[in-house]
Chain A
Amino acid sequence: MKNYKDGGPLALKVAESLQKSIPPHRKNLIFFLHEVQKELGYFPAEVVLQAAHYFSVSPAEIFGILTFYSAFRLNQSCIHHIKVCQGTACHVRGSEAIMKEFSRLLGLKPGEVDSQKGVCLEAVNCLGCCAIGPVVVVDGKYYAQVNLKEVEKIIASFSARENSHGTAEI
């Protein structure tokens, strides 16, 4: 992903080019926001304003949607995305302790971003892999039946991700 850290003209251009294939019908708004999220990784203020103009709704309306749904982010993108499943099956198998251990080792609370290292730690609702929980997903790679001891290894493996032969990219 390119760096659109400061929003700016480049981010606007990306959003503009997406508009070409998506007509400004209200029904397409969330789809458009998904595409922006995929391309930019977050929503700079300029893009929010531009989207409001394009779909003829108020910026507050766009902002309301962005903050309502968990798929969208208002702050900068991250490079390493750690999702710790908090589904019920994972919960009863100890996912809370797994999350605490990630928090401790990364110095991040769930939902926080380490902008220096580009790491974000996220508690996610059920990922639907309940028979193999607790489940952790790092940058699309699934880790099944994670125990406390493995947390450190998981962090080490994505720190050196370039060398890893990752499995199961979904």
Chain B
Amino acid sequence: MEPLKFNLLKDLKTAGKGSQNGSGPRIISLSAASCGQASGALEVASAFESAIKELGLEDKVEFKLTGCHGFCQLEPDIIIFPEKYFYPRVKVEDAKRILLESGLNGRFIPELGFKDEGTPNGVSRLEELPFYQNQLRWLIDQQLDLDPLSLEDYLKHGGFQALEAVLSELTPPEVIGEIVASGLRGRGGAGFSTGLKWKLAREVVAQPKYLVCNGDEGDPGAYMDRGILESNPYSVLEGMLIGGYAVGATRGFIYVRQEYPLAIERLDKTISSLYQAGLLGEKILGSDFSFELELVRGAGAFVSGEETALIASIEGRRANPRQRPPFPVVSGLWGKPTVINNVETWANIPLIVKNGAAWFSKTGTDKSKGTKIFSLVGQVKYSGLIEVPLGISLNEIIYKIGGGARSGKKIKAVQIGGPSGGCLPAELFNLRVDYESLPAAGAIMGSGGLIALDEDTCLVNLALYFLKFACDESCGQCVPCRIGTQQMVSILEKITKGQGELADLDLLEKIGSTMQQASLCGLGRTAPNPVLTALRYFHHEFEEHIVEKKCRALVCSDLISYVIDEDKCSGCLLCLNSCPYGAIEIASSGLPQIKLSSCEACGLCSSVCPEEFQAVKKISGKDRQQVQLRPDGMS
């Protein structure tokens, strides 16, 4: 197919017209972002494609490989338009049936649909799924039937109409005024007003000016930006073009972390297609606006997400942060004014321009407007990418959208904001999710990682996990962060091994507060948050580790033992055969028993024990001490 090419602004307008009238053939949309592909989407795709060819249905249905549909746990999934029938975990062998019955004839196949204990009769349409209710999906809904690589498809979905309007009707200050009025705040976590940032950069006299899209989404447990970059890359590019015009920048950079190869590949292709189409380069579509865009691939360093470190990395140096001020809007890339916004922030720009600031600011709270994408993961029943209005409560997110805990467990906390954020206990789940309420409770809004934790998560272990992460990723320039993270790790390690003292808890708080005040950049200043919030809300778990040598979540391997419950054991000896340490012996009862002195607590025995028996259990604290005291050392 000929690549699209435009010469004049008005060509864009005509390209977007006359489409999306819903009269075409049914669309079969298969989710094929990274998690879809990891779950076998490409095999399913080729099954569909060959069936379509074999049956000669090329004109009767439209098969599309799209980005993320949000319900990542059930990938690869298919949505049939216009009915929005939803099929989870589609298998290769079901392709032909779905194609013929749903794609061609519009009939839903109940046995392939979504069904669980909450919806015993099954549901057919996307909107009926509990996961998809209670969301407000301005960004994600655009992705559901969009071919991420097709400029034509993006135009059909109303793409580049915002750019057209901006270039033909609005002056740069008018664009900035609109973004300020919308109340949009940085979606990377800090929450600075996007419009104000643009205004500051515009007012600086120095030239040239630069734009950066920060796609170095390093928070473990968060993947909102990957979702957007893989599913709707053109929306981010359009946002940057509008930003470039408004700020007076001539050049932009999109920095994406190297752990996201598919996002990089898709951006590379979409940027080339914009150059071909005349939407990037000199004097875009006959206007006076010129803009160059370059993709920069990260090289694996969490601190690169910090804006001054990001600048260093783009300039080809180690990603060492530097002191602010001067802020990048004054002195950024090569000492020039630079506007850095997060992926999701850029993706919101075309929406605001198209629908108006008033429309955007109707959603949200007083100071936090619009929607936010979160990656809802961890131990909830339904996990994936969700988009919700700001100001929604954690309760609604965890229980209504996430469906609560997985079977038989209780959600005890939610970790929000990754290594810079905190753990909030279930008692605080009525908190509103916005830029003001979360910091007041010790957490942060962050970029959107939301990890639900149930009784099987040890908060001390999790605090240690985050501090180890921060310690590994500290750039090492400033003492509070470099030494502080190391000291906190060693204290927490001591506690998880049952060698801690109560005085250690005060020490953790002291080190943490020093780091918060004295570190050079955001990484060090926020790194203690996971520990400090855990101490604030889960002090009892720390005390139990120290005083009772007990890990209530049965996670800390030095404080637990595996034992075999003779009442449940069937004597199949799978555990005995799997134990790599020879720690399982046959007792006089004829049933296997674990010899604690040889056990390394690897958990293999528990994982091989058939589900119907579940005879291998973990014990900690008093129970464990009693077993340890037995002369034979057997469980």
Contacts and interface: CB of A to CB of B under 8 A. Distances in A.
Contacts of B220: 86-89, 91, 125-126
B221 A87 contact: yes
Interface in B573-630: 580, 602-604, 607-608
Contacts of B40: 167-168
A86 B451 CA distance: 14
Contact of A70 (B75, B300, B313): B300
A168 B32 CA distance: 10
Contacts of B604: 101, 148-149
Interface stretch (A12-20, A39-47, A112-120, A128-136): A128-136
A26 B451 CA distance: 39
B299 A69 contact: yes
A148 B377 CA distance: 20
Interface in B291-332: 296-302, 313-319
Interface in A82-113: 86-89, 91-93, 97, 100-101, 104
A92 B300 contact: no
A128 B223 contact: yes
A92 B378 CA distance: 7
B42 A29 contact: no
Contact of B226 (A72, A128, A149, A167): A128
Nearest to B261: A170
Contact of B34 (A30, A97, A128): A128
B37 A168 contact: yes
A29 B223 CA distance: 28
A34 interface: yes
A125 B259 contact: yes
A130 B316 contact: no
Nearest to B379: A92
Given A27-B314, A87-B220, A135 B299 contact: no
B222 interface: yes
Contacts of A127: 34, 259
Given A147-B607, A170-B262, A130 B42 contact: no
Interface in A66-89: 68-72, 86-89
A10 interface: no
B21 to A, nearest CB: 34
Interface residues of A, number: 46
Nearest to A31: B297
Given A31-B297, A126-B218, A132-B35, A88 B418 contact: yes
Given A27-B315, A65-B317, A87-B220, A132 B72 contact: yes
A49 interface: no
A128 B259 contact: yes
A161 B557 CA distance: 34
A65 B315 CA distance: 12
Given A68-B301, A126-B218, A30 B75 contact: no
Interface in B446-473: 449, 451, 453, 456-457, 462, 465-466, 469, 473
Interface string A116-158: 0000000011111111110100000010100111000000000
Nearest to A26: B316
Given A64-B318, A89-B378, A126 B221 contact: yes
A33 interface: yes
Interface of B: 34-35, 37-43, 72-73, 75, 217-223, 226, 258-262, 296-302, 313-319, 375, 377-379, 383-384, 415, 418, 449, 451, 453, 456-457, 462, 465-466, 469, 473, 475, 580, 602-604, 607-608
Given A72-B299, A148-B603, A168-B37, 17 more contacts: A30-B299, A68-B319, A69-B319, A70-B299, A86-B469, A88-B220, A91-B465, A92-B456, A93-B378, A125-B259, A125-B473, A126-B219, A129-B34, A131-B383, A132-B35, A142-B34, A144-B38
29 contacts: A30-B299, A65-B299, A65-B318, A68-B301, A68-B319, A86-B220, A88-B221, A88-B378, A88-B465, A89-B375, A92-B451, A92-B456, A92-B457, A97-B603, A125-B220, A126-B218, A127-B34, A128-B222, A128-B226, A129-B38, A130-B221, A130-B383, A131-B375, A132-B75, A142-B38, A144-B35, A148-B602, A148-B603, A170-B34
Q: Which 10 A-B pairs have the closest CB atoms?
A: A88-B221, A142-B38, A70-B300, A128-B223, A69-B299, A131-B72, A126-B220, A87-B220, A148-B607, A29-B316
